[in-house]
Amino acid sequence: MKKSICLSFLGLKGGSGKTIISTNIAYVLASAGNKVLVIDADPQGNATLTLSPKNKKDPGLFYPAMNEFLLDRGIGALDVIVTDTIDQNIHLLPNNLRAAQAALRIEPLVAIGQVMKRLQPIMQNYDYVIFDGRPEDAGLFINLAMICSDYVIVPIDGTYGASSLSALLDLIDDMKNWNAKLELLGVVLNHWMPQRIQAKQLKEYLKAQYPEVYVFNQTIPTSEQIRRTQVMGRTLPVVIGESISPSFKKLAKEIIKTIESREKEKNDQNTYLY
């Protein structure tokens, strides 16, 4: 049986492209026939907005959503997961601003334990589970995403550079105490304008400062089309038809390839150990 892979798109900076990239990668994977569950781990509800059907373009309209799932132990994953999304292979655990309040009121570790108990059994039903994270430090949602995930992908805004990457790497290291399988898969350079001198400097900086960090070869350019689709609450392919943006398609391929080689490395290590 194919293993279910859980990916988190995280970063400590808002606006770096977590939602744009995670929702478009989810769409590319789903179009290739994979069953994908997107967990919107940001009460801003941007992924919810992007992936929800045309008649439900307000994250606040979903009930029950993440808020109810966090607070009410009687709500199972199947009660909260939405199957009517922009693609039949994408299911969505919706979020909205009500969950921001809940996150302040509840004990994070208890909440994470409760949520995992109800979430983990159904994660196996999907080829990929994708968390769209929020820019917080040690908050409930980033912890939840990291405790469930196999791999973290960090989009970096190519214009502003790698601010907070070291802090995020420390957080991932810390989190390995609770989830030993957690690994950084790599960094995606978003808003990529290779002709800019800062772009070259950023690549060199990452190589020198974080030699152990994989930087995806495929970058995402700044594009008016990308910006417009999010304003409309859509993924790129839904707006521009069949021609899925080549950069997302290529990035998805590279993500899958990188996961395969990491999984192989892990298997080889296990064979060696036992």
Ligand X SMILES: Nc1ncnc2c1ncn2[C@@H]1O[C@H](COP(=O)(O)OP(=O)(O)O)[C@@H](O)[C@H]1O
Binding site for ligand X (CB under 6 A): 14-20, 46, 190-191, 220, 222-223, 226-227, 230
Query: Across-strand partners of 129?
Result: 6, 37
Identity of the residue, 15 or 64, whose beta carbon is nearer to Mg ion in the bound complex = 15
Query: Contact between 50 and Mg ion (CB under 5 A)?
Result: no
Say which entry of Mg ion, ligand X, none residue 16 contacts (CB below 5 to 8 A, set by partner kind): ligand X
Give the containing element (helix H, strand E) for 109: helix 108-123
Query: Contact between 19 and Mg ion (CB under 5 A)?
Result: yes
Reduced to 3 states (helix: H, G, I; strand: E, B; else coil), residue 187 is strand
Reduced to 3 states (helix: H, G, I; strand: E, B; else coil), residue 105 is helix
Q: How far is the CB of 152 from ligand X (least distance, A)?
A: 14
CA distance 231 to 66: 23
Q: How far is the CB of 23 from Mg ion (least distance, A)?
A: 9
Identity of the residue, 138 or 232, whose beta carbon is nearer to ligand X in the bound complex = 232
Q: How far is the CB of 240 from ligand X (least distance, A)?
A: 14
Task: Give the other-Cβ count within 10 Å of 196's Cβ.
Answer: 13
6 close to 129: Cβ distance less than 8 angstroms: yes
Using the rule CB under 5 A, which residue among 18, 91, 98, 249 binds Mg ion?
A: 18
CA distance 69 to 77: 8
For 115, counting Cβ atoms within 10 Å of its Cβ (0-12 exposed, 13-18 middle, 19+ buried), the class is buried
Say which entry of Mg ion, ligand X, none residue 6 contacts (CB below 5 to 8 A, set by partner kind): none
Identity of the residue, 127 or 136, whose beta carbon is nearer to ligand X in the bound complex = 136
Say which entry of ligand X, Mg ion, none residue 20 contacts (CB below 5 to 8 A, set by partner kind): ligand X
Q: Which two tokens stand for residue 176?
A: 């390995």
Q: How far is the CB of 176 from ligand X (least distance, A)?
A: 24
Q: Please count the residues of the chain.
A: 274
Contact residues: Mg ion, CB under 5 A? 18-19, 46
